[in-house]
Amino acid sequence: MKKITFILKTIICIFFIYICMANNTYASTKKEGIENFPESYKPYLIELQKKHPNWKFTALYTNLDWKYVIDNENIFGKNLVPISYTDSWKNTKPGEYNVEVDSGWVDCSRQAVEYTMDPRNFLNEVRIFQFERLSYEESLNNKNGVEKILYGTEFYDRIVEYKDQSLNNIVTTDKYSDLILKGAKISGVSPYHLASRIKQEVGPFLSHSSISGIVAGYEGLYNFYNIGATSSAEPMGAIINGLKYARDGRGASSETKAKYNIPWNTKEIAVRGGAIFIGSSYINVGQDTVYLQKFDVNDEKPGDLFWHQYMTNVLAPYSESKSIYNGYLNSGLLDLSMNFVIPIYNNMPEIQVQSPSISEDEYTQDNTKVYADVTTTLNVRNGPRNII
């Protein structure tokens, strides 16, 4: 009887472990304060806090193994770079090298994934904004700040016009900054994030096909955040998929369409509905930074890790962080209270992963640089040794 009881307990234990593994239930924890970060993070954060005393830093312990994370992100088609990039950034495996997953975009190298996922590479004043919490805060967010983020684009200080389904031109009384601020308040998402995301997704011009309203077969439809714009090898494939989403949610239920204000047949509805989508689909379910929207490594929502990812451009957090930073800089908002949520993985490399743009050849062929393969400790003097 004891033997049978032991076997049953063992089976139950194994079954429980299997269920946990199948559901990827890795419990993450957050700890606020620089003292809660690993030593390899601290020097960068200390320097940032000296410059910006109102900034706060929260350590997100994902409890995920570094190699496991990279293995799951280094899957063909999941992370892309422009085909114009050097081979060090690209997947060079036979049959996968320079294969366009989307027009002009190819699968990236493992090193590119490692470099862009290692948070320590981006703990500087500009790139840290990929870790900024993206919730709406009325005391921080205002129309003037949105306009400053939009400066240099055709959205800046511009009255909104759009085409209806019959291509009639409709002129409104709102500016783009008004639409973004309204969308932010309803969705709970920072308007600065929404403005930066629009610049990232459709660029500085109102003529972008996702928001022109004149794409044949999709007249009068708008998608400011390229939601649902999944990669496709067909001409304008990603844009068409995004406009299909704007039209009917690509087969979404009536409840989902109502939730996101679909169809997005005016610019105001598109900005607002897309903001609600971003808030409810990402920011309000644990993916509340640009980094976590690109790399799904947090577990505060049901479902598997690594699949719920907003964009395929592996450098999107890197690029978007500068846009966010410039918005704050131009608005004079850099010294306001901000919180940065920064991931930590188990068994990370002792030092951060180097950029694929840096090759060992640059060091071995140039005697003004030094390349060191250090397995223990390297001590470097910053001046001549004192001899007494």
d(CA 165, CA 216) in angstroms, rounded, equals: 11
What is the model's pLDDT at position 111?
98
Give residues with Cβ within 8 angstroms of 95, minimum separation 6: none
pLDDT at 376 over 60: no
Q: Is a pLDDT exceeding 70 seen at residue 296?
A: yes
Q: What is the pTM of this model?
A: 0.69
Write the single-letter amino acid at 70: I
The answer, yes or no, to whether residue 2 has pLDDT greater than 60, is no
Cα separation, 19 vs 363, whole angstroms: 49
pLDDT value for 284: 84
Which residues are CB-contacts of 168 (< 8 A; sequence separation ≥ 6)?
none
Encode burial over 260-278: b for 16+ CB neighbours within 10 A, e otherwise.
bbbbbbbbbbbbbbbbbbb
Q: Highest-confidence range of 85-94, 235-244, 293-302, by mean pLDDT? A: 85-94
pLDDT tens-place string over residues 336-362: 888 999 999 999 999 999 999 986 554
Q: Assess contact for 258 and 129: CB atoms under 8 A.
A: no
Is pLDDT of 369 > 80?
no
- Residue 210: the pLDDT is 97
Residue 64 reports pLDDT greater than 90: yes
In our burial notation (b when 16+ CB lie closer than 10 A, e otherwise), range 230-253 reads eeeeeeeebbbbbbbbbbebeeee
User: Does 207 score more than 70 pLDDT?
Assistant: yes
What tokens appear for 324 in the block?
A: 């966010």
Domain ranges of the chain: 30-364
Confidence of residue 90 (pLDDT cuts 50, 70, 90): very high
Write the pLDDT tens digit of every residue in 153-190. 999 999 999 999 999 999 999 999 999 999 999 999 99
